[in-house]
Chain A
């Protein structure tokens, strides 16, 4: 596989469920990102990791919990979500933190019922 992959592509979960989103990059990059994309809103940066260390957390509710076990993998653990959390969750990577050229995965379309 090449580029940035994300699984699952679609996820429907109830408000009491626990699920995880997975992202993997095959580009040898050192920085990885989670974004939330909602209708009619700009992409919202959620978390930034550089070499497995979290460098930014943009006031994201604790029901979203990121994990970066190595520089190629990034997870977003979800629990007790709200319907307003329904969105497209995008993972991206770049050579270094703050690099302007980011490479995105296809996203996970999350629906919270």
Chain B
């Protein structure tokens, strides 16, 4: 079983602050996804990264895939209350057919 560890588990910040959350593993992945899940809803895909060192931006969100494809980070600039939710990383190991594994998530609360 591939283990994806996310940190921190919980984060409560004031509106306008910056933050970074992490997704780490000892395994190499062929791709990694970030999802956001709002209370009472299912996860919504934000981005997929596939190349080591890749950086993708989605408005105020910046996603980076580690050079060795074992880890990823999500940086949010000037957080807004609408960013509140559970951030999940998910990854698919390299080599053959492998199922997607999800991390435990980072619960973010942005206080107005």
Question: A residues engaging B (CB < 8 A)?
Answer: 4, 6, 40-43, 45, 48, 56, 90-92, 97-98, 100-107, 109
Does the CB pair B41–A100 fall under 8 Å? no
A40: which B residues are within 8 A, CB to CB? 104
Q: Total interface residues on B, using CB and 8 Å?
A: 25
A107: which B residues are within 8 A, CB to CB? 40-42
Q: A106-B40, A107-B41 are in contact. Are A98 and B4 (CB under 8 A)?
A: no
Does the CB pair B102–A42 fall under 8 Å? yes
A97: which B residues are within 8 A, CB to CB? 97
CB distance from B87 to the nearest CB of A (A): 13
Does the CB pair B42–A4 fall under 8 Å? yes
B84 proximal to A (CB < 8 A) = no
CB distance from B78 to the nearest CB of A (A): 27
Q: Which of A45, A103, A106 contacts B99 (CB 8 A)?
A: A45
Nearest opposing residue in chain A for B43, CB measure: A104
Pairs of residues from A and B, 8 with the lowest C-beta to C-beta distance, nearest first: A104-B42, A43-B102, A100-B92, A42-B102, A100-B31, A104-B43, A106-B42, A107-B42
B21 proximal to A (CB < 8 A) = no
